Structure formats: C-alpha cells, structure tokens
Amino acid sequence: MRRVALLAALGAYAMFACGRVTAGEETIHLIDAPGRDVTATRCVTCHSLDYIPMNAAVMSRGSWEKTVRKMIDKFGAPIRQEDVAEILDYLTAHYSG
C-alpha cells in the first residue's frame, strides 16, 4: 500500500512538473483498486479527476462506455483500445450509481 501511495505521489509530482495539473487537484484521489492507474493517467491528460466522482451517481457501464468512446472519438483522448475494457471495469465497479 505504501508503495502505491508513493507512486501516486510521484505521479502527481511528475504531472505538475510537466505542466498539466492545476493546484488543488492533487487532493483528488480515485479509489485504490485494479484499473485505477490506467484510468487516472489517461483521464488526467485533459481534465482533473473530479469529473469522475462528480458524475458517478449518474453513471452505469453503458454510460461510461459512451463517455469513454466520446473522449476517444470526439476529443482525441490517447487511450489504447486494449485499455478501454480495464478502464470501463474500474469505472463501473467504483464510480457507478
């Protein structure tokens, strides 16, 4: 667990260093479970992670799939096809209503 926390902290620092994250958003922590890292690193490219808990109550696997597809197809999110299932499993398990 400690190693994961350390990696998360380093990750947050790295994102700061390369100029992606705004102050304050490092306080947002997604639920620690399999799939979290791939979800967090892909989504945080374009937006803060608070969008995920903000919408959780509204979402289901179907609506997360629609959202992830929209991010890839309309917004050009750099999410590899082989990562989509893992991201959807994680979001459905931990951020669905």
Q: Residue numbers of the site for another protein (CB under 8 A)?
A: 16-25, 27-28, 45-48, 50-51, 53-55, 57-59, 63, 67, 74-78, 97
Distance of closest approach, residue 8 Cβ to another protein, in angstroms:
17
Residue with tokens 């922590």: 29
Report, in Å, the least distance between residue 94 CB and another protein: 16
Cβ atoms of 31 and 39 closer than 8 Å: no
Smallest separation, CB 72 to another protein (Å): 10
Local structure of residue 34 (DSSP, 8 states): T
Instruction: Name the nearest CA neighbour of 27 among 3, 50, 46.
Output: 50
Name which of 34 and 93 has its Cβ closer to another protein: 93
34/50 with CB nearer another protein:
50
Of 16 and 38, which has the nearer Cβ to another protein? 16
d(CA 33, CA 72): 23
Structure tokens belonging to residue 42: 């892909």
